[in-house]
Structure 1
């Protein structure tokens, strides 16, 4: 498992796609975004256009752990992105965030094939001014720490440049 972190427009998604495309296809792209407005629909369309066959896309804005568990054995999986999934879970007032986070971590630990997880590093800026934003930053940081601890490789992408934090470069 590889965890790819970076800021907005850092090149983390392209880098992660390249890691998966270096493996034999077909590849599974698990998308966590929801198209709430025209701008987000355009972003999603841009990402999809970059992924011709043999990519298969599965939308999983919430039940990410189940999608990972159901992925065929040996099939390379790319999840993009964990912070969008976290946002979706936090905005669902009925969600048991701790249980969903634990299920996600466990599904990653027991994944039946190679997996690359993409997420935004959100802890490099100022302390957010409101409680929800601070909670989001804290939850993302905790999730990243758990996944990084069990990942084979962790990469931070800045300005399109990958920096290997853990493991070896490919």
Structure 2
């Protein structure tokens, strides 16, 4: 299945979004580059990163970009290569905790996505479906993540929302065969 456009995959925790995004990338048959935004600050996160790495075969090239995401896109996007960025939510958290200008970084990211000469698949959590957080930092994070998702969704050609492992097309055409679908 060829893919010549950008895709945002949204969903909650354990919704299947990363697995879906990886399957879509692998289905392209293109050279694969995984751009990771996670930072291993504790054992649980190290284990989570290791599990994600083990899910990818040797055909994947991995780039670590916990904050310089737009630069990583510009350096690695190419015709004949699909980029998989996982995930924008962790990237937002990294910027917030480092007291970086999230609006400027988002502008730079959106420009990099729009200018990319090959397909990009971006993964992000939808964090705005729950209750309003009880502290200012959590509300600031929720708002920043929601605004980032809106900006990226407006930029990409396709948006899929995953719930219980099932994709729902929010924007663009769904693929003819859903990667990982059973039945």
TM-score norm. by structure 1 comes to 0.97
- Counterpart check, 1:111 vs 2:139: no
Unaligned runs of 5+ in 2: 1-5, 176-183
TM-score norm. by structure 2 comes to 0.90
- Counterpart check, 1:81 vs 2:87: yes
Which residue of the other structure, out of 16, 27, 30, is the alignment partner of 1:25? 30
1:69 maps to: 74
- 1:104-143 CA distance string (max 9 Å, x none): 1111111110000000000000001011111111111111
- 1:80-99 CA distance string (max 9 Å, x none): 00000000000012x22221
1:161 maps to: 166
For residues 30 and 63 of structure 2, the distance between their equivalents in structure 1, rounded to whole angstroms, comes to 15
For residues 59 and 51 of structure 1, the distance between their equivalents in structure 2, rounded to whole angstroms, comes to 15
For residues 98 and 115 of structure 1, the distance between their equivalents in structure 2, rounded to whole angstroms, comes to 21
Which residue of the other structure, out of 26, 39, 42, is the alignment partner of 1:37? 42
Count residues in correspondence: 169
CA positional deviation for 1:24? 2.1
Is the 1:35–1:44 contact (alpha carbons within 8 Å) kept by the matching residues of 2?
yes
Matches within 5 A, 1:51-62: 51-62=56-67
For residues 48 and 62 of structure 1, the distance between their equivalents in structure 2, rounded to whole angstroms, comes to 19
- Counterpart check, 1:99 vs 2:104: yes
1:10 maps to: 15
